[in-house]
A and B are shown apart, each in its own frame.
Chain A
């Protein structure tokens, strides 16, 4: 609760948390706010209408309601952001804790492989994965999760190493606890702080990344209401319907901004020495 108290004093972090809660609520109840149908059904009579009473965010080039598409887009973006963070964190947890805890040749092998992968910028790595597996939601998630495994692995390894050298791990060893149980019971719970901060920030990055991929047409495929894909459509009508790019873009910005603000707040709360 100490964490919560210190977080509460951080106004930007509170703002971030509130926006995240609103986004989650909107994502869960999207169908009640406006049925998915409205965002998918094409209506040639209502094409490219600017915001009005019936369509508060206007309609796109197929006459679909942009408001509906934006709120259903929250579902996709939040899902991709959190799911890919979990996947890459999990893989990195296994690799990083094994490398950091056992050291020696295992560590050497894992880290040299990670170093080599890090010579390829994340975006390129993801592009290669998408090129190999094809487009679509699932493949996109694999692609962007892969690109953040190396960074997470390095982080987890360094945290694990710093903990593995402490006395209480030595004590656990002396009492005959198995290596595997030491990792699960003692090392990982004690490395949660930096991991929580990095995961929160990672959600922001993944949301941006996924939107970027859908924007270039290699991510979530139409007619799914993904924010990045909506911006790609809006780009075609920039002159005629500039309002089309406003709402999806603002949504991406708000979502990633609030996770970044929360992550920053958590870091300050968990690491008091940075505040001074």
Chain B
């Protein structure tokens, strides 16, 4: 059990340089000279050379990459912003919690809604509940979350004035943004849960249980659900990735000063170190969630537990 968890954690640590490599590699395609962008056209050649040297831009790609990984892993140093000349990690740590709260609460409510209605829909396949919820699911999966957010902002903040429209100071500020990501993503989870659950109810062991005369309720709760839960949890992890993307856009709708708006502003300002570091931090956060899901498996799935008991 602990052996399994340790193995997963080790794999996660090995993954970090890989994640950094991909983002680092993509950002390396940036054309043009950053010193020109940051210092302006009028800077002297000497100033530019100094800037490049300080930012370490005159070294080769492998050297820059290796020293970046070293600094991140051992010193938690993600570089300095081109614009403010301060360590980028300070601002990121300041903004990260807002994005994390939004993403996690969105994940919580959409799983709750998606899984429960998905199961209900599968159990009562072809009933009216099933028809309504599958249509609602495809509708909400097609709705742009930022548009849904704007619509709710218009109704609940501007028209009725019961919830704040922008900012992130109190829990009330999170109600609308959370709802804006919850609806589309619970729809996605509902569709997944329903199809996985339908697949499970058709397994032979469920038929056997029925033949034995086990009540429908016990079949669903004990046989079908427990087995469907594993693939459902796996797909939840992937959905969380797109939910995180949804949170980034939703932050813009409600002007939440989180990591999403931070990245977007940095892209506009061409502040590469901030983009690089924020992307890496969010990707690591996402991998941590996946790690937690994988390890929690070991507790749920007796097959994995058995494999590591010996």
B283 near A124 (CB under 8 angstroms)?
Answer: yes
A120 near B245 (CB under 8 angstroms)?
Answer: no
B151 near A217 (CB under 8 angstroms)?
Answer: no
A217 near B147 (CB under 8 angstroms)?
Answer: no
A257 near B138 (CB under 8 angstroms)?
Answer: yes
Report the bound CA distance from A234 to B290 in whole Å: 37
Report the bound CA distance from A239 to B198 in whole Å: 46
Report the bound CA distance from A263 to B269 in whole Å: 40
Residue of B nearest to A209 (CB): B245
In the complex, whether A261 has a CB less than 8 A from a CB of chain B is: yes
* B199 nearest CB across to chain A (Å): 8
The interface-forming segment of B24-32, B38-46, B298-306 is B24-32
In the complex, whether A208 has a CB less than 8 A from a CB of chain B is: yes
A121 near B267 (CB under 8 angstroms)?
Answer: no
Q: Between A and B, how many residue pairs show CB distances below 8 Å?
A: 141
Which listed residue (A133, A231, A274) contacts B195, Cβ 8 A?
Answer: A274
The interface-forming segment of B68-76, B212-220, B246-254 is B246-254
CB contacts (< 8 Å) of A239 on chain B: these are 158
The interface-forming segment of A161-169, A181-189, A245-253 is A245-253
In the complex, whether A216 has a CB less than 8 A from a CB of chain B is: yes
Report the bound CA distance from A95 to B142 in whole Å: 29
B267 near A127 (CB under 8 angstroms)?
Answer: yes
Report the bound CA distance from A276 to B122 in whole Å: 12
Interface of B is mostly: helix
CB contacts (< 8 Å) of B245 on chain A: these are 121-124
- In the complex with contacts A132-B29, A217-B264, A256-B142, A120-B283 CB distance below 8 A: yes
Annotate A62-76 by CB proximity to B: 1 below 8 A, 0 otherwise. 000000000000000
How many residues of chain A are within 8 Å of chain B by beta carbon?
44
CB contacts (< 8 Å) of A103 on chain B: these are none
Report the bound CA distance from A120 to B21 in whole Å: 11
User: Which residues, 30 to 73 on B, are CB-close (under 8 Å) to A?
Assistant: 30-31
Which listed residue (A123, A249, A274) contacts B242, Cβ 8 A?
Answer: A123
Report the bound CA distance from A188 to B209 in whole Å: 40
B146 near A128 (CB under 8 angstroms)?
Answer: no
Q: Can you list 11 contacts pairing A with B, beta carbon distance less than 8 Å? A: A116-B19, A117-B22, A119-B15, A119-B283, A123-B246, A128-B27, A132-B28, A215-B144, A245-B154, A256-B142, A276-B202
Q: Which 4 A/B pairs are nearest by Cβ-Cβ distance?
A: A123-B245, A121-B241, A257-B142, A249-B147
Q: Which residues of A contact B (CB under 8 A)?
A: 12, 116-117, 119-125, 127-134, 204, 208, 211-212, 215-218, 228, 231, 234-235, 238-239, 242, 245, 249, 252-253, 256-257, 260-261, 264, 274, 276
Please give 14 more A-B residue pairs, beta carbons under 8 A apart, in addition to A116-B21, A242-B158.
Answer: A119-B18, A120-B23, A120-B279, A121-B241, A121-B282, A122-B241, A128-B23, A131-B263, A132-B30, A133-B29, A134-B31, A212-B146, A218-B267, A245-B151
